[in-house]
Structure 1
Amino acid sequence: MPNWRRAYVPGGTFFFTVVTDRRVPIFGHPAARAILGSLLRRCQLKWPFEINAIVLLPEHLHAIWSLPAGDTAYPRRWGWIKKEFTKNWRLIGGGEQAVSPGRERDGRSGVWQPKYWEHTLEDEDDFERHFDYVHYNPVKHSLVRCPHEWPWSSFHRWVDAGVYDRHWACSEDARRTMKFDEIESTVGE
């Protein structure tokens, strides 16, 4: 059994991969996307943090969060989001996967994988590689040909802010240069 250890860097910036149970495409449902969006905003009100980047794919999401100075409680935030999402998803009749007796005893649902992937971003280069990875992810998974074609991404906010050109990573040449080998071990896919 793995020895799960989390990095607790006060005020740190973290990359996350959070996956639905058995990779069921729950986020293909508009209601699921709405519930998650609402919960992220509510969570930010309860325990402030900045969402630097986020992309929501049918069965997983990637996000980069920055916590306030002195704060290390991202597990509390993710636990709350996953618990509240499950509760709200069930209320509207959303389906979930069958769980083992052990997971049931532990109070686990069949909506989320029990764990999530976390990587502490170490410097500006690490941040930029993961930031690009988040926004390129729908292309990587062959959901679209260009990041701007995927509506459930912070890419659009960063185009509006002038960080990305709208057609970033759209050409065949640009896609060939998108190499994420050096961070592959840090993204949890």
Structure 2
Amino acid sequence: MSRYLRPRLPGAPIFFTVALARRGGTALVDHVGLLRAAVAQTRAERGFHIAAWVVMPDHLHCIWILPEGDCDYSTRWRLIKARFSRGLPMGARRESHVARQERGIWQRRFYEHHIRDEADMAAHLRYCWWNPVKHGFMTRPEDWPYSSYHRDRAMGWSVW
């Protein structure tokens, strides 16, 4: 069995990509309220700051900043995924999903990247904001409703 060694850098901003098990679906935008509730409940229990977030139909990207001295983002993702999944009907499951008591909605792993500096942060913010355009859903980031772009621009953030 593979063992993933994840870096432990408390306080560092972290960029994540998290995807559904079956790409091409629309569960995340179809049930965005359920996703928001799962995130809100997890944040209430295990606080973290959301620097950026974009929800696509079958995956999401975000940047989190955990509290100083805390680097346990894996537990937070486990809770968010489980809470979201419990609100959906059981999907088609492989034998390995049954053995692990998984619903088969999410990919098991996620991608994370610890932000190195201001330029890296700006690049990943832009990536989040422009992802709906990249995938052809919109021609401008401000037209995508499931993005922190609106909050970020209202606060005066610009990374152009």
TM-score of Structure 1 vs Structure 2, range by shorter chain = over 0.9
Q: Distance in 2 between matches of 1:154 and 1:28?
A: 14
What residue is the counterpart of 1:100 in the other structure? Answer: 94
What residue is the counterpart of 1:171 in the other structure? Answer: none
Counting only pairs closer than 5 Å after superposition, residues 47-126 of structure 1 correspond to structure 2 as 47-90=46-89, 96=91, 98-126=92-120
Q: Distance in 1 between matches of 2:55 and 2:9?
A: 25
Alignment of 1:15 onto 2:9: no
Please, what TM-score do these two structures have when normalized by structure 2?
Answer: 0.93
The alignment yields a C-alpha RMSD, in angstroms, of 1.7
Moved runs in structure 1, 4+ residues, more than 6 A?
none
What residue is the counterpart of 1:184 in the other structure? Answer: none
Any idea what the Cα deviations from partners look like across 1:16-74, whole Å, max 9, x if unmatched? 00101111221231xx1001111111111101100000000100000000001000111
Counterpart of 2:13, as a letter, is T
| DSSP-derived class of the 1:89 partner | coil
Question: How far 1:5 moved relative to its partner?
Answer: 2.2
Question: How far 1:151 moved relative to its partner?
Answer: 0.7
What residue is the counterpart of 1:36 in the other structure? Answer: 35
* Structure 1 gap segments, 5+ residues each: 169-189
Higher helix proportion, which one? 1
Q: Distance in 2 between matches of 1:43 and 1:66?
A: 14
* Structure 2 gap segments, 5+ residues each: none
Q: Kindly name which structure, 1 or 2, has the bigger radius of gyration based on alpha carbons.
A: 1
Given that 2:29 and 2:55 are in contact with CA atoms closer than 8 Å, whether structure 1 keeps it comes out as no
Q: Distance in 1 between matches of 2:158 and 2:146?
A: 16
Please, what TM-score do these two structures have when normalized by structure 1?
Answer: 0.79
| DSSP-derived class of the 1:21 partner | coil
Q: Distance in 2 between matches of 1:28 and 1:54?
A: 13
Counterpart of 2:100, as a letter, is D
Given that 1:108 and 1:114 are in contact with CA atoms closer than 8 Å, whether structure 2 keeps it comes out as no
